[in-house]
C-alpha cells in the first residue's frame, strides 16, 4: 500500500502569513529537455497561527518532486504539524523524536515551539537525512539528525529518551508495521510516561493497527478525525480519511501529557 500523493493539491493551500509556494530552484534559463534530467527541487512554505495570535511563524521545506517518499511533504505531515502547533504547550522544553520524518515538518514545528528535537529516517536514506540538515539550516532551527531504521537496534537508539514520539504517514506499508511498532514500543519503554502521536490514512488498516497495539502492549489514548481540529483553510486541501492517534504503553501507569 502506498501513501496517497495528493501533494499537488496541498501546495495550493493558502495560510494567514502567505501562500504555500512552489519555487522550482533549477528552472532559470533551462530548456525543458534539461529540466527533465534535473531533480525538481522546490520550497514550500507552511504557516502556523494567525494575526490574532502572538507569534505566527512559517516553516520552509525543501522538497524534491522526482524523489522517493521521504522528500515530499505528505498530507499526514501537514496534519501532525498543525496538531503540534495547537498543542505547543506540551512540546515546549520536551524531548521529541520524529520517526520516518522525511521532510520533517512536524518535528520542525516542535523545535520552533521550544522542543529538543531529533529527526530520524531510515539509516540508508542518506539523501533524506541530508535534506533534513538543509531544512534545519534553512529555518535556523537546531535539531539532531540521525539514521534510525525501524526494528534495527543500533547503539544510538539506546540513548534516546523521548517524551513525545512523532510519526506522520509511517503506517503505510503493512510489511513494516511490526518493525515500526517494535521501535515505538522500545522508545516508550525507554522513557516512562512518553507518548507516540501519529497520523495515518485510514484505508482499511485500522483493524491491523488495533491488533498490533494489543500485540505490543500498547493502547490508544486519543483518536481524532482530522476535520475535528484542522483549520478549514488547511482541511479543505486535504484528501482522504486521515486520523490522528495518541498511543501509550498499556501498563496502567502512563501519565497523560
Ligand atoms: C510516506 S513517507 C512520510 C514522510 C513524512 N513523515 C511525511 O509525512 O511527509 C514515509 C517515511 O518513512 C520512512 N521509512 C520507511 N521505512 C522506514 C524504515 N524501515 N525505517 C525508518 N524510516 C522508514 C521513509 O524514508 C519516509 O521518509
Distance from C-alpha of 167 to C-alpha of 118, rounded to nearest angstrom:
12
For the domain made up of 68-249, the CATH class stated in words is alpha beta
How many whole angstroms from 31 Cα to the centroid of ligand 1?
33
**Residue 146: beta bridge partners?**
120
Closest residue by Cα to atom 11, ligand 1, is 100
What's the pLDDT tens digit per position in 222-243? 999 988 999 988 888 888 789 9
Over the range 21-31, which residues count as b (16 or more CB within 10 Å of their CB) and which as e?
A: eeeeeeeeeee
How many whole angstroms from 70 Cα to the centroid of ligand 1?
6
pTM of the full structure: 0.86
What's the pLDDT tens digit per position in 27-86? 333 334 444 455 688 999 999 987 666 688 999 999 987 666 678 899 999 999 999 999
Which three cell numbers mark 239? Answer: 484528501
Closest residue by Cα to atom 4, ligand 1, is 102
How many whole angstroms from 28 Cα to the centroid of ligand 1?
31
Closest residue by Cα to atom 20, ligand 1, is 149
DSSP of 79-140, one letter per residue? Answer: HHHHHHHHTHHHHTT-EEEEET-TT-HHHHHHHHTT-EEEEEE-TT-HHHHHHHHHHHHHTT
What's the pLDDT tens digit per position in 159-177? 999 999 999 999 988 899 9
Amino acid at each position: 500500500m502506498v501513501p496517497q500523493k495528493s501533494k499537488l493539491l496541498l501546495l495550493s493551500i493558502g495560510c494567514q502569513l502567505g501562500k504555500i509556494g512552489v519555487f522550482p530552484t533549477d528552472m532559470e534559463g533551462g530548456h525543458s529537455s534539461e529540466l527533465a534530467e534535473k531533480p525538481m527541487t522546490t520550497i514550500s512554505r507552511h504557516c502556523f497561527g494567525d494575526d490574532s495570535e502572538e507569534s505566527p511563524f512559517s516553516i520552509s521545506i525543501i522538497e524534491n518532486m522526482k524523489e522517493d517518499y521521504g522528500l515530499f511533504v505528505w498530507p499526514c505531515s501537514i496534519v501532525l504539524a498543525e496538531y503540534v502547533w495547537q498543542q505547543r504547550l506540551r512540546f515546549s522544553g520536551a524531548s521529541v523524536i520524529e520517526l520516518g520524518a522525511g521532510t520533517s515538518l512536524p518535528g520542525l514545528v516542535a523545535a520552533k515551539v521550544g522542543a529538543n528535537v531529533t529527526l530520524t529516517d531510515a539509516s540508508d536514506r542518506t539523501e533524506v537525512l541530508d535534506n533534513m540538515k538543509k531544512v534545519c539550516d534553512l529555518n535556523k532551527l537546531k535539531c539532531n539528525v540521525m539514521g534510525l531504521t525501524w526494528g534495527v537496534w543500533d547503539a544510538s537508539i539506546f540513548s534516546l529518551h523521548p517524551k513525545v514520539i512523532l510519526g506522520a504517514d509511517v503506517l503505510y506499508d503493512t510489511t513494516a508495521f511490526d518493525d515500526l511498532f517494535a521501535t515505538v514500543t522500545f522508545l516508550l519503554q525507554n522513557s516512562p510516561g512518553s507518548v507516540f502521536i501519529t497520523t495515518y490514512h485510514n484505508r482499511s488498516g485500522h483493524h491491523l493497527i488495533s491488533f498490533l497495539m494489543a500485540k505490543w502492549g500498547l493502547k490508544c489514548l486519543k483518536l481524532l478525525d482530522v476535520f475535528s481540529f484542522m483549520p478549514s483553510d488547511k482541511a479543505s486541501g486535504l484528501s482522504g480519511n486521515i486520523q490522528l492517534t495518541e498511543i501509550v504503553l498499556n501498563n496502567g501507569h502512563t501519565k497523560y501529557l
